[in-house]
Amino acid sequence: MTNLIRASRRCMALKMPRASALAAFEDFSKSFQLRLDYPVQTTGDFIDQNLNKGEPVPSILLDQLIQTVETKKQFIDISYHLWRFRHSPFSYKMRPWTNYFLITKGVRLGAFEALIELLLKSETYGCFPDAASLSYLLLNLVENGENQLAVEACVDLLIKDLCSSSTLAKLCLNIFIHNIENLQSCEAKQVYASVRIIGNILENEKLKDLGACGIAKTISEEEVTKDDHFYIDPYVNYEELCSNPQIEFEEFIEQLKSLDLEFGSLEGEINGLFNDASETFKQWNAEATDLHQALETLVSDRKDWAARYQQLEKEFKAGVQYALSQTGLFNQRQAMEQRGSERMPKLYPPYMENEYFIVAVSDLELEQDIYEAKNPKEWSKIKTFFENRKQEKELALEERRAPLRRNYKTNERWNGKMFSEFDKPNSTPRLPIE
């Protein structure tokens, strides 16, 4: 990380944070332990195949996918799986630390163009990083001489309201001022809006006025479309808020360069931002560890049940053969094998035929498992309450049921549960173990 000090040569007024601060920022990503041993190709196939079948996909599979990436080519390819997950019903559960893993992994592999594409198309891929992760990305872009990508990233995160920190706003402004030639290649109305947003965040009247002047000029030329209304408010009269509504883009750039803005050194503020993020990482680590452990336990239980099921099925078929040899009703073999028994329920584990089913579980189920494990007394109360309510409903239904004729339900094979009076008697031979 000592190479990051060289970035100060490219961004004159920006003092980079110490290497130890940036190294600490990466500790969570490097030290996080995955619980499953699936490689990136297998994890990607699991996500794709489960979504094709309409099965649930846990959001933490994306952690497994990102953390197992080893090459730049693999990092570029995972955008497809991010797109699939983003457009699935489970995308609302995407975890905040997943974007952090995505940023740190991309920076480590030097996949800056792929990272910026994910950020510019965040609505497509679901990449909405926090302020600390965005600052870390911008600093590394500057350090590696990717000034054009840094400027594009700044403009995009500002107009998408991803700039939730004054420190990040100052960093973006600093990058703008020291990369004017790259700023001129961006779309003018987005640059105007970005400068005004920075002025609002920093409460700087000069920047507010300059941004409003550019937006007023764009509106007067009818260059603002409905797609731009998420960062340019169509109900605000910008001409009343600015001093020069006819400013040209070249003049705007010159005034931006000549502004006398005293923000001091950013080194301390960025270090503070990273230190605050370390506290957030502790919370993320605890939550992520619980979820990954719950998934690991579920996968292990399913593997154990698959092995046990094979043995039970072998014993069950032996029992069926014995019953048929005693009764001679060999034409009932198929019916008996399909019906199963109390000891051998016919619930064939789907992951025995298709391995991808073994990770098919929703985040809600994993969170429920964690809650039950951490709050056994509270969960016992909730479970008892609903069991009692179920019994009350069944008793109320029994009381409203019309009386049946005498000896109507004397067959011991019948199940005396709700609506069982409508079931036909079963004449299939029963196994001796029943």
Polymer length of the chain: 434
Nearest to 153 by CA among 133, 174, 129, 134: 134
Assign 112 to helix, strand or coil: helix
Phi, psi of 246 (to 5 degrees): -110, 25
- The confidence score (pLDDT) of residue 13 equals 44
List pLDDT tens digits, range 231-285: 888 888 888 888 888 888 888 988 888 887 766 677 888 888 998 898 899 999 9
Nearest to 137 by CA among 108, 96, 166, 159: 108
Mean pLDDT, 10 residues at a time, the chain of 434 residues: 40 50 80 92 95 94 95 95 94 92 94 95 94 93 92 95 92 90 90 93 90 90 86 86 85 86 75 89 94 95 88 79 76 66 68 90 94 94 93 86 58 52 58 52
- In sequence order, the 6+-apart residues with CB closer than 8 A to the CB of 343 are 312, 316, 433
C-alpha 45/C-alpha 225 separation (Å) is 40
C-alpha distances out from residue 428 to 5, 325, 330, 333, Å:
80, 14, 11, 9
- In sequence order, the 6+-apart residues with CB closer than 8 A to the CB of 181 are none
The count of other CB atoms within 10 Å of the CB of residue 164 is: 13
- The confidence score (pLDDT) of residue 269 equals 87
Which residue, chain included where needed, has tokens 């649930």? 56
**What is the pTM (predicted TM-score) of this model?**
0.81
- The confidence score (pLDDT) of residue 113 equals 95
Cβ proximity of 131 and 163 under 8 Å: yes
